[in-house]
Each structure stands twice: as C-alpha cells, then as structure tokens.
Structure 1
Amino acid sequence: MRHHIVHAGWLTAALAVLGGVFALYVHPDFLVTLVDQIWSCF
C-alpha cells in the first residue's frame, strides 16, 4: 500500500513540473523577465 502512495506522489510531482513548464511556454515574457532578473545578479 505504501508503494502506491509514494508512486502517486512522484506522479503528482512530475505532472506539476510538466504543467509549470507548459505554463512558461504559454507566457514566454515571464520567462524572459525571470532570466533577465537572474542575469542581473552577475
């Protein structure tokens, strides 16, 4: 039973990451702003 819960947790985490990547591709201006902010630190 515990194996199924752990497997479901990893599956949920993977789907959340894929959803986040898809959201970034839908709004590329957000990604450009984020990269500009990170680049300004250097």
Structure 2
Amino acid sequence: MSPTRRQRIRKRWLARLAGAAAVLALLAVFALYTQPEFMVMLADQVWACF
C-alpha cells in the first residue's frame, strides 16, 4: 500500500523542517565559538572533568 499524496507531502515538509532545525542549531553553536569568553569557559569545564 503506497502512501497517499498528502502523507508524502507531510513527510517531505517534516524532513525539511528537521533539516532547517539542524542548520539553525549548528549556526548557533558556531556563533558561540566566535566568543573568546565562551571558549575559556568551555575549556575550564572540560578541564574540571579531570
């Protein structure tokens, strides 16, 4: 039984939405890496694990 046209369209939109959310999350992470204070804080937290 093949999916209906409406189901295919919905699946396509959900895939696009998931892709857009992933791109936005990556952009937010990359933006944080441009801030030196964040990098120092991250290094301190990683060092505190040891």
The alignment's TM-score, normalised by the length of structure 1, stands at 0.64
Give 1 or 2: higher helix fraction: 1
Higher relative contact order (CA 8 A, sep 6+): 1
Q: Which runs of 4+ in 1 moved over 2 A?
A: 30-33
Larger radius of gyration: 2
Aligned-pair RMSD on alpha carbons?
A: 1.9
The alignment's TM-score, normalised by the length of structure 2, stands at 0.56
- How many residues end up aligned between the 2 structures? 42
- The sequence identity of aligned pairs, in percent, is 36
